[in-house]
Chain A
């Protein structure tokens, strides 16, 4: 699933807190990085966070003549400008969406929801967290202590594919370490404790 990742740029504390409050009222999951300094390195932040939505006070992005439209994962980056009556039209035109900060709460919420929806990051159904047959097989091999290469050889797939499966397994289960995955596999009867002990002894 495409995760909503927001980069919030404003030197105004009140404005940042306000945007965060609005976002939390939408009750959708998102990841956010904040930036308050006008001298920040915009491109570095883009690489680090890979945001798909940048919400900014327009003067903060003035030093950057070009606003990158693609993030590292080749996803579209949308720009939301926090505008007021004094924001010059020329500045406004750089943004995909405008959020006039003088509006009332209901309007702001509607605007924010509709602009985030049109980016495609809000509407998607939450992905199922059940493991596929293939993932279960690979999980079993991981739990039994096989390396990526060994798994690749046994299943006649590339190491790269194994790694992709691993990433998905970790994401779906919320378990990051190999020993954590092993515990999961035992608790779910994918492998038996005895099988593990055999391996331990072999290793000795």
Chain B
């Protein structure tokens, strides 16, 4: 079932509580009363269609946003993507790191093995950070510069960014190794941790890892299905413009 504007916001959460962090990212607070999705968006001054597309891609991994694509600005999208980055770096990753750290402190006799796990996680974290940085430093500024150029509101730096001959095609899927590491981490805990530790202590860590993975998948999905097409379209428009000149 897809989420639409007339559903009550409260029912949306009952339907899928994994949407809570997504709603947070839009700045929406709990206590919706009987307000519908549309009303909540109005109250917060949000673009309803955009909100629905994001919610639905998250809610249903097979959902394919297509019809409304052109309506969204790159800026709107990138604001959202940056907020998800923030969520990983400021909430999710520290949360997991904390939990592993607590475990190390509590379970002295397994400390060495746990430390190995921690090192692996830190390793993963660093890779994720550098991946995020490369998006924020190269991909997003490029998309925003394109958009400003096309709307005639060029910033000083934009010409420089656009002159670098970057293209969204270069934005290959280098998510790969980051994804594999997260996958490995889960599997090591699930299948291979020699555990005199009460394994329920791992539940919350695993739960967090699954959530993070799910959120990252969705993040990548939105980039591939919405951001990339929008940028490709702008690249085409810009090429046509410069052909005319």
- Residues of chain A at the chain B interface (Cβ within 8 Å): 173-177, 179-180, 182-184, 186-188, 193
A173 CB, nearest partner CB in chain B, Å: 8
Count chain B residues whose beta carbon lies closer than 8 angstroms to a beta carbon of A.
19
- Residue B181 is within 8 A (CB to CB) of chain A in the complex: yes
Given A187-B116, A193-B116, A179 and B181 contact (CB-CB distance below 8 Å): yes
Complex CA distance for A170 and B181, rounded to whole angstroms? 13
0/1 interface trace, chain B 166-198, chain A, CB 8 Å (1 if under):
000000000001001101110110011110000
List the A side residues contacting B192 at CB < 8 Å: 173, 184, 187-188
- Residue B131 is within 8 A (CB to CB) of chain A in the complex: no
Given A183-B116, A187-B113, A175 and B193 contact (CB-CB distance below 8 Å): no
Complex CA distance for A193 and B114, rounded to whole angstroms? 12
Q: In the bound complex, do residue B113 and residue A180 qualify as a contact, i.e. CB atoms below 8 Å apart?
A: no
Within 8 A of A (CB), among B185-214: 185, 187-188, 191-194
- Residue B42 is within 8 A (CB to CB) of chain A in the complex: no
List the A side residues contacting B112 at CB < 8 Å: 193
Q: In the bound complex, do residue A175 and residue B184 qualify as a contact, i.e. CB atoms below 8 Å apart?
A: yes
Given A187-B193, A193-B112, A176 and B188 contact (CB-CB distance below 8 Å): no
Partner of B177, one of A174, A177, A182, A193: A177
A89 CB, nearest partner CB in chain B, Å: 37
0/1 interface trace, chain B 25-50, chain A, CB 8 Å (1 if under):
00000000000000000000000000
Partner of A180, one of B115, B185, B193, B194: B185
CB-CB nearest in chain A for B176: A176
Offer 19 A-B interface pairs, CB within 8 angstroms, sorted by A.
Answer: A173-B192, A174-B191, A175-B184, A175-B187, A175-B188, A176-B183, A176-B184, A177-B177, A177-B184, A179-B120, A179-B123, A180-B181, A180-B185, A183-B116, A184-B188, A186-B116, A187-B188, A187-B192, A193-B115
- Residue B117 is within 8 A (CB to CB) of chain A in the complex: yes
Q: In the bound complex, do residue A187 and residue B184 qualify as a contact, i.e. CB atoms below 8 Å apart?
A: no
List the B side residues contacting A183 at CB < 8 Å: 116-117, 120, 184, 188
List the B side residues contacting A184 at CB < 8 Å: 188, 192
